[in-house]
Structure formats: structure tokens, C-alpha cells
Amino acid sequence: MIQVKEKTSRIMIVDRSEVARSIISHILQKEMDNTYIVTCGSAEESLEYLHREKFDLITTSLLLPGLDGLDLCYEIRKSEKQHLTPVIVVSSDADRRLLREGFSAGVTDYFNKSLGYKRLVEFIKDVSQRHSGMVGRILYVEDSLSTAQTTQNLMERHGLYITHTTSGEEALRLLKNTNQSDEFDIVFSDFFLEGQMTGGDLLYAIRTQLHYSRQEMPVLVITIEDNRQCQTEIFHAGANDFVTKPVKEEVLIARVKSLLLVKHQYKVIKRYSKDIYNLETIDHLTRVHNKKFLLKQGKNFITKYKNVCLMMVDIDHFEEIDQSQGHLIGDHILHLFGQFLINYFPEETLISRFAGKKFTVLMSCTLDKGKTIAEKFRHKTMSLNPEGFDITVSIGLTSSEGQEEATLANLLSNADSALHSAQEQGNNRSCLCKVQRNVANV
């Protein structure tokens, strides 16, 4: 157990590995010398500390003896003392349970352990700074220069980054012309701006023209009227919250911090959603899209482009390598081949692992260009040499040209027929299947 007393920031590290705990705490002490650190080897041990002491941030491995990291997070959220404490789950892979249950368990964020301990410490510092201090980018709209100067200085003293503008029109222009998720965290506006666009108009434009939700772009309003009618109007216009003039520092900062957490949680949920989508649509071994993605998105791809070609690619004699060298070598060859496909073809190409050692490549091009691409790819594959093995591929090629209404099912069937013909002719060749199912060498 490592304890460094008389420090201002209090962090708990929970990890079943004593070596990991020692490395993380050592780097933290060097990088954050004002930090009091407690390390624990299990959730049960950490809960004993959490009943007695208050911490500013907690990190926990997903896998622990006894209760795991998510179980610990559930317990932390039940605690009256710790229920708002940021919790980072550290895992070598964001598995399905973490992605699906993490937010409901109260996980503040998660970190990929494979990135290394130094990156983890940087991540801890960032989260700690965002939650214990005030790190946020505010678009501040106020037409009174004297009020703006005073309030801006106040917010900057708390670590906030302020972009000030005096009109709703200019604020709307800034939001339209920048990627708001990277530029601003909160809009803070006077409700009664002078000029054609009032603060209420700006709010309405943010919600209806830019289509930003209250979570995606929180808005805090400042007003001189503290009555129910005005409050109702403010919330109907799309505000998350409001403060009244004259501004009280502690009230303003509390409101801003609350909305920064709203924005942060939105970003976490958005990232969770993206990761869940990737789990559902990416083949975990080769990192290309899976068959489910092809069947769902392939139809849209064919509709989008005038001419498409589909290649069915099969690694020749892969079974012999897999049986003689073992599945680990075989899997690594499949992984390297998947990376080769991703790097070889442009981003707009739809690449999928169709089944086993068979892949599909759906691309927007004419039939003549498709023939050239197939042959160049086949020759390039012969120089790949994954795990020291010379490999070749057989390719079945088909095109939507000449079809009034090409379907994904027909393209897959025709490409598979052409692939079968290439294999019957001795492998390491490309064959073309036209609409009429006439099969010929490319």
C-alpha cells in the first residue's frame, strides 16, 4: 500500500497487478507532485478506503479478483461521499460489457491499457484537470463591453477559455463555420441582446437551424429578469440553465461546471456508440468489415454508384498452412492480409471478410478498370510474404454493367462462380463472370 500524505489532489489506483500499481503511482508522483495516491489490489480493499476517505479521481482495472471494475463503479455510485467522483476503467480492450453497461454503471471514461502507462498517466491528468478544475471552451455572447470584461476575467480565473462576441449574428456565424464539438463546449449568452438577433433568437437558431441538442451544445443564459414568465421563455427557447445579473461568481461557476459535465458525458456516450458500432460491424481478427456490414451497406453502395465491380478473393492453399503451422500462424496471416487489403484499396472501397479466408472487395469503377485492378492486386499479393510464407490468391470478378437493376445477391453469386472457375483452373488467377454467367479469364 502506497500513501503520500499532505497533498491537494487525491487519486486512488485499483489494479490487481502490484507491478502495474507501482509503475502508475511512480509516474503519477513525478508528473503530479501535488497528488496524494492510494493503491489497492482489489475492489473490496478500495471500498474500505472509500468508506473512510474522499477521493478526487479513481482508476480501476476492468478485471479484478472478486468484484470487477464495473461492480466497483456501481458501489461507488451508491456512496453518498463518492457518488460524483470521476471513475476511469482501465482495460486492454473495450469489451461488450464495458461498452454496454459502462455508462449506466457510472463510468466517467475508459482507457485502453495497451497504450501504455505513460499515456494512462496523461489521461488521468486530463480527466483530473477537467473534473477538479475548469477546463472548457466557452462562446460568450454579451453586448455590454464592461459586463463582458468583468465576467470574462472571472471565468478565465477558473481556467476557462473564452471567445467573446457582442452579437447573436456573429455567434451564429462562428458556430456555423467551425466544428463546434472541437471548438466550443458551451454557449453562454445574454438573453436580451441588442440588434436584430436577440439571445432568444440565437438559442432558437442553435436548436432549429444547427440542430444541436441540449447535450451536444449546452447553453447557459444570463438575464436581468428573475421571474417565472422569463424563466419559462428561456427554457422554451432551448436553454439548459440560466443565471441572473448581477452575476455571483460561485453560482456562475457551479452552473458552468455542471454544463461542462453534460457536454463531457455526451462525448463519452457518442464514443461508446461508435465503439459498439465497430464491434458489430468490424471483423475482430482482420479489422476489415464483416459480412453483416457488407449485406447491410452493400445495397446502398450499389445504389450510390453508376458502375460497381465486386471481387471475391480467396487465399490459395490456406488450409495447408493453417494445419501445418497452427492456427496462431494462420490467424496472423489473415490479420496481415486484412491490413494489406485496407492499405491497398482507397477509403471509398467496401472491403469485407466474407467467410474464413474469403474476402469481398466492392468498388466503384467500370468493368475494364476492375479487370486491371484485380490483376494488379493479384500480382501485388505474391510479394506480400506474411509470416515468411509465399501466398497467392484466386479472384472472381463481376460487374453491374449491362444490368438494368444490379443486386448485391446477384453480384455475390456471379463473383463466387467466377472464383470457383479460377480455382478449378489451378488457382492464382482472376476470372470474370458476366451478367449472363459466361465465365472467362481476365
Here the CATH number for the domain that contains residue 95 is 3.40.50.2300
Q: Calculate what percentage of the chain has a pLDDT beyond 90.
A: 51
The dihedrals phi and psi of 327, each to the nearest 5 degrees, come to -70, -30
Q: Would residue 282 count as lying in a domain?
A: no
The yes-or-no verdict on residue 116 having pLDDT over 60 is yes
Cβ density class 272-296: b for 16+ within 10 Å, e for less: beebeeeeeebbeebebbbeebbee
Whether the Cβ atoms of residue 391 and residue 315 lie closer than 8 Å to each other: yes
The model's pTM: 0.52
Q: Is residue 166 part of a domain?
A: yes
248-291, pLDDT tens digit by residue? 888 898 889 889 888 888 887 887 777 777 778 999 899 999 99
Closest Cα to residue 237, out of 286, 200, 206? 200
434 lies in the same domain as 298: yes
Determine, yes or no, domain membership for 384: yes
**6 φψ region: left (φ > 0), alpha (ψ -120 to 50), beta (else):** left
- With respect to residue 347, please indicate whether it lies within any of the assigned structural domains: yes
Per the DSSP assignment, residues forming a β-bridge with 335 are none
Q: Per the domain annotation, does 96 fall within a domain?
A: yes
Among 155, 128, 122, which Cα is nearest to 140's? 155
pLDDT of residue 276: 78
> What pLDDT is attached to residue 178?
65
Q: 220 pairs with which residues across the strands?
A: 188, 241
Structural domain total, the chain:
3
318 in the same domain as 259:
no
pLDDT digits (tens, 9 = 90+) for 357-403: 999 999 999 999 999 999 999 999 999 988 889 999 999 999 998 77
State which of 244, 276, 308 marks the end of a domain. Answer: 276
pLDDT tens digit sequence for 49-97: 998 888 889 999 988 999 988 899 989 888 877 777 889 988 876 566 6
Point out the domain boundary residue: 243, 276, 309: 276
Half-sphere exposure of 361 (CA within 13 A, CB side): 26
State how far the alpha carbon of 194 is from the alpha carbons of 129, 190, 312, 399, in Å. 36, 10, 64, 62
Tell me if 145 is assigned to some domain.
Answer: yes
Domain extent, residue 193, equals 136-276
Same domain, 247 and 383: no
Specify if 2 maps to a domain. Answer: no
When pLDDT is cut at 50, 70 and 90, the band that residue 441 belongs to is low
**Segment (H or E) for 171:** helix 168-177
